Amino acid sequence: MPGRRTSSNDREQHRSDNEKDIPKDQRDQRQRRWRYYVPTVVSEFEALGRDVASALAFIPATPRRRKAIAQLSFRHPPTAAKQLNEWFGFDFMEGVKDDERAFVDRMFNRRHLFVHAGGKVDQEYIDKTGDTWVRLNEVVKVDSKEVRRLIGLVEQIAKNLLDGFESIT
């Protein structure tokens, strides 16, 4: 629920019954594995985006536009999608529902936490995502459902990005 701060009891109840039956050391091991996948999936998409942007920079454009294309960041997919739509007429986030867009944005921001802050929530993360399931300085957890959902959505937006690129080249 947006704007709702959750207690640790709420988060504990949110955890699946199956997960509660798994010994703590195994849960910790699984958590490390799931935390590894988020940066990997996000980084692969960012690399694909940079490759596509590099190729788009060869399309005839003004020097200013060419520079903007070359500097386009895929760390925030909705912003990159908006720019590419304005410049080239394709939206690689097309067909992605608002709640899925928010999820992708949250997971891309979690990647930053995992890589640069040891998974510890900072104020910037809260401000950017509006994530109410976490607290400041808490270590973020990721479960297998989130990883699977992220992989599916990144696959969808990656296909859209490639389709859009191929439609203009």
Q: Report pLDDT digits (tens) over 79-124.
A: 999 999 999 999 999 999 999 999 999 999 999 999 999 999 999 9
pLDDT of residue 7: 44
Decide if 114 contacts 39 (C-beta within 8 A).
yes
21-30 pLDDT, tens digit per residue, is 778 777 778 8
13-53 pLDDT, tens digit per residue, is 445 445 567 787 777 788 888 889 999 999 999 999 999 99
User: What pTM was computed for the model?
Assistant: 0.82
pLDDT of residue 114: 94
pLDDT of residue 150: 97
What is d(CA 64, CA 7) in angstroms, rounded to the nearest whole number? 49
Structural domain spans, the chain: 23-168
Could you tell me the two tokens for 47? 């690399």
pLDDT of residue 34: 87
pLDDT of residue 99: 94
The number of CA neighbours under 13 Å toward the Cβ of 154 is 27
Cα–chain-centroid distance for residue 70?
21
Could you tell me the two tokens for 101? 């867009």
132-165 pLDDT, tens digit per residue, is 899 999 999 899 999 999 999 999 999 999 999 9
